[in-house]
Amino acid sequence: MLTQATISQSPQFRPSFPFRHVLDRAMPGRRAEAGPVGIPMTFARNAEICGEAEPSGRIYMVVSGVVRICKLLPDGRRQISAFHMPGDLFGFEPDEIRHFSAEAVVQTKVVAFKWQSLIAAGVRSGAFIRELLHVTMKGLRHTQEQLLLIGRKNALERVAAFLLEMADRSGRTGIVELAMPRHDIADYLGLTLETVSRMFAELRALGVIKLEGARRVHVLDIARLIALGN
């Protein structure tokens, strides 16, 4: 039986067409195939990949590094809505103007795709649009979950949830390498960097984590972390 899920999840759409081909070429140790033209770009730490209020003529795929998606208030207050890791797509918008900016957290390689060239490559035929729909739906769900986190969880719960999310994406070895500084974590969680730091200290005092420098976290008690983070 066909369901909503099978539309966006069935194998025919999942290995991201048409980006997979480009990723094959952009990443070492992979075989090149035909596909639309992606423009490889490299950004230094803290460099802006694309900015708010610019035309939204391109979308991007992370090849290596980490990208933060930011929104700013006029007075400088900042909210990070997502961190993107290798393989993630970002930068699509419902209209011609971008409503967020994207910056490299560390040195980052991306491939940029102009909509123009995607269209030229036959992108209007269903598979690409369905893939993009699936990615966008996942992004929407993630952002809704983040809304619950920021709107209703306390500082300790937020930091615990953050560590769980990072652990999830880092191949579950019990050691989490954080690419971003405390300030970025704070802006992702709707806290200040001091509070984030204190919550790390509290998790350490509880015996849930061990810190090895500021950026390397050993998860000692994953069950406890899960209990705190949900």
From CA 224, how far away is CA 206, in angstroms rounded?
A: 9
Among 16, 19, 49, 56, binds a copy of itself (CB under 8 A): 56
Q: Is 32 in the site for DNA (CB under 7 A)?
A: no
Nearest to 18 by CA among 152, 117, 86, 99: 117
Q: Shortest Cβ distance from residue 83 to DNA (Å)?
A: 14
Q: Which residues pair with 188 in a beta bridge?
A: none
Q: Shortest Cβ distance from residue 173 to a copy of itself (Å)?
A: 26
* Residue 62 or 131 with smaller CB distance to a copy of itself: 131
Rounded to 10°, the helix 126-152/155-169 angle is 150
From CA 142, how far away is CA 48, in angstroms rounded?
A: 23
* Residue 41 or 155 with smaller CB distance to DNA: 155
In DSSP notation, 60-86 reads EEEEES-EEEEEE-TTS-EEEEEEE-T
Site string for DNA, 43-62 (x = CB under 7 A): --------------------
Among 25, 71, 109, 218, binds a copy of itself (CB under 8 A): 71
* Residue 45 or 138 with smaller CB distance to a copy of itself: 138
Among 151, 205, 213, 223, binds a copy of itself (CB under 8 A): 151
Exposed, middle or buried by CB within 10 Å (0-12, 13-18, 19+), for 219?
buried
Strands 67-72 and 216-219: unpaired
Could you say which residues in the range 131-150 bind a copy of itself, by CB under 8 A? 132-134, 136-141, 143-148, 150
Among 143, 215, 226, 227, binds DNA (CB under 7 A): 215
Amino acid at 32: A
Q: Is 190 in the site for DNA (CB under 7 A)?
A: yes
Residues that bind DNA (CB under 7 A): 154-156, 181-183, 190-198, 200-201, 211, 213-215
